[in-house]
Amino acid sequence: MSEARLQSKITKYLRSNGYYVFKIDGYLGAPDLVVMKPGHTFFIETKTATGALQPHQASFHERLQVAGFDVFVIRSMKDLEKVGLKTDVKIIRLT
């Protein structure tokens, strides 16, 4: 599945479950999507099954994580399930 198609599916799914989802454009290395729900903001980088993070992306993601944000690399809708999203009230990370 292409990154664009995956982003579209993720956005549709999250919005249907009460999340605000915005595409980030114009910032080199920034994740593809910012996702918000009251009390939690996180970022999603979409990649194809074989796509790799570029060094500038990894660096940007690390800066976000140091600032306290979660950044997830999602390659499929199954990966999104592994993140542990709760569609009722809040997000819980699974370990």
State pLDDT tens for residues 28-86.
999 999 999 888 899 999 999 999 999 999 999 999 999 999 999 999 998 988 887 65
As a whole number of angstroms, the distance between CA 79 and CA 75 comes to: 6
Is the pLDDT reported for residue 24 higher than 60?
yes
Specify the pLDDT at position 38.
86
Res. 89 pLDDT band, cuts 50 70 90: very low
As a whole number of angstroms, the distance between CA 60 and CA 73 comes to: 13
As a whole number of angstroms, the distance between CA 47 and CA 24 comes to: 15
Contact assessment for residue 40 and residue 46, using Cβ atoms and an 8 Å cutoff: no
